Structure 1
């Protein structure tokens, strides 16, 4: 299913606006908060996407990796199936989109590949403190929960001791963006989730990333 070039251009312009108006903070580490990150069509597609029970995570022992076989990604098959998802992927992966991210964060996305994971968490879920260092060169967390308490389900931004310093905004389509480093500790302190905590995890990963089936457009070059 081919994407409408005009829709792609509009999506890229929207991403640029979200990045241009991002709020910066250095507590507890450098990160940015973005409003209205994704096009509405992409939000609609991600919320409407139906998954089997195996894709929904409760207590994973604090690590998403324990459920690798059941994780969901916007990979080539998903992009081909739904043009709205393809437009979203094209938006992030376009030279203009990449450049806008680089300009804000002062980092390089050269020789990186786009990875888009749909996270689906339920009551019992928690995530241990971690930093995303290594192959991940950029992390953007976008909540897409539509439940009454969803704004309380943001990611915990932590210090090196694993203590929550700031809880990111859980508001629908509000992004938390950072460049992974030794100090970018984050996780999810266990708390009630009455409903489905849905989100999009956006990463740019380098050529050492082995799980190439997860990537939106294939491996980095």
Structure 2
């Protein structure tokens, strides 16, 4: 890939265009559906990152049950994989963070960027949860392939009431601002080929696992 600064600038442009064209939905709670989130070369590079699926050993329902196997765009990962570095630089930029705040109303000032790369296999599921707490913004970015359209996030009207399933498309994303009604999860179902996604959050200074943060000493400007 080209220099990370150049790639980051291209990612910024793609994200700004994607947000400008995003579809806003009000049910079951306010959310946005994005397409063409990153440049195609970036999406391809992300899909080829050599991270492995979590070994579930029959245990699932919460990602934190397997904290020791989770992968983040932080620390040495940023030095090893230029695409990871370029993505976090773009997500840290004022152009992108201000666009996110203007478009969604998310309050990112003083928050920190946390990016997780997830590879899920059959046996994986997530119980409904809201992300409310120290997370101030959630983007679930999908690297869906052929035959994976049904592997998107499940949305709920409340903890018990399933509402719909977001399509798991290539280079697409589901965005929402965590609140007490942003119930989402992943109903158990067959995952024929590994399900790759990137979970992008901005979190408050109360986040304790600083090693997960892309820039643990650099909060987002107001």
| Fold shared, TM-score > 0.5 on shorter chain | yes
Q: Secondary structure at the match of 1:200?
A: strand
Distance in 2 separating the partners of 1:91 and 1:164: 34
Distance in 1 separating the partners of 2:3 and 2:56: 31
Q: Which residue of 2 aligns with 1:164?
A: 162
Distance in 2 separating the partners of 1:160 and 1:215: 30
Distance in 2 separating the partners of 1:203 and 1:18: 18
Instruction: Please report how far the alpha carbon of residue 47 of structure 1 lies from its aligned counterpart in structure 2 after TM superposition.
Output: 1.6
Distance in 2 separating the partners of 1:115 and 1:128: 21
Are 2:44 and 1:44 aligned? yes
Distance in 1 separating the partners of 2:121 and 2:16: 32
Instruction: Please report how far the alpha carbon of residue 84 of structure 1 lies from its aligned counterpart in structure 2 after TM superposition.
Output: 1.9
Q: Which runs of 5+ in 1 are unaligned?
A: none
Note closer, same or farther for the CA distance 1:59–1:28 as it changes in structure 2 (3 Å cut).
Answer: farther
How many residues get paired?
219
Q: Which residue of 1 aligns with 2:123?
A: 124
Q: Which residue of 1 aligns with 2:206?
A: 208
* Cα deviations by residue, 1:39-70 (Å, 9 ceiling, x for unpaired): 333322222122346x3547533111100000
TM-score normalised by L of structure 1:
0.92
Distance in 2 separating the partners of 1:124 and 1:176: 23
Distance in 1 separating the partners of 2:2 and 2:10: 16
Matches within 5 A, 1:1-221: 3-52=3-52, 55-57=54-56, 59-146=58-145, 148-219=146-217, 221=219
Q: Quick check: 166-175 or 129-138, which moved more?
A: 166-175
TM-score normalised by L of structure 2:
0.92
Note closer, same or farther for the CA distance 1:59–1:143 as it changes in structure 2 (3 Å cut).
Answer: farther
Contact 1:154 1:168 in 2 (8 A): yes
Note closer, same or farther for the CA distance 1:5–1:52 as it changes in structure 2 (3 Å cut).
Answer: closer
Contact 2:52 2:119 in 1 (8 A): no
Instruction: Please report how far the alpha carbon of residue 91 of structure 1 lies from its aligned counterpart in structure 2 after TM superposition.
Output: 0.9
Distance in 1 separating the partners of 2:118 and 2:56: 8
Distance in 2 separating the partners of 1:181 and 1:78: 31
Q: Secondary structure at the match of 1:150?
A: coil
The RMSD of aligned alpha carbons is 1.9
